[in-house]
């Protein structure tokens, strides 16, 4: 039995605010974001790390990441974005995932050291508003 929380999200067992669903990729809001609009992008098939992702799937996966980086910036009215993957070390869920995080100048994410401080959404409504804004930006 697979106990991967991301696989459970993909299968609809665990609820999540999904922003993209395709044949190969699912993206959803991180429920404990670094910044509002922080999205996790995962392949539908369970691969533990980037090295496990088949070469034919790399392009489509990263095209989705690219689209989301642009959409997240637009939707969250950000100055830029941060895209990252933890591979094994600090990878809290052993299912390949990339973080797409909106950035603003002076947001404190990078100082003398990288600060991975989570800021939960203040309400379900705030999370749903971010989801809707990102979906709208993807459609434009």
Confirm if 53 and 43 have CB atoms less than 8 A apart. Answer: yes
Indicate if 38 belongs to the active site: no
User: Which residue in 38, 95, 97, 99 is the catalytic one?
Assistant: 97
- Report CA-CA distances (Å) from 118 to 32, 34, 38, 127: 6, 5, 10, 14
In Å, the largest CA–CA distance within the chain is 44
Q: Which residues are catalytic?
A: 97
């Amino acid at each position: 039995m697979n106990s991967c929380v991301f696989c459970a999200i993909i299968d609809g067992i665990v609820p999540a605010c999904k922003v993209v669903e395709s044949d190969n990729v699912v993206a959803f809001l991180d429920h404990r974001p670094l910044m509002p609009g922080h999205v996790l992008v995962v392949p539908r098939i369970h691969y533990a790390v980037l090295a496990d992702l088949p070469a034919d799937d790399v392009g489509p996966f990263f095209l989705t990441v690219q689209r989301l980086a642009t959409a997240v910036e637009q939707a969250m009215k950000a100055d830029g974005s941060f895209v990252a993957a933890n591979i094994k070390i600090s990878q809290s869920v052993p299912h390949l995932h990339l973080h797409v995080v909106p950035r603003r100048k002076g947001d404190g994410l990078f100082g003398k050291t990288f600060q991975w401080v989570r800021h939960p959404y203040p309400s379900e409504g705030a999370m749903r508003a971010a989801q809707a804004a990102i979906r709208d930006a993807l459609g434009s």
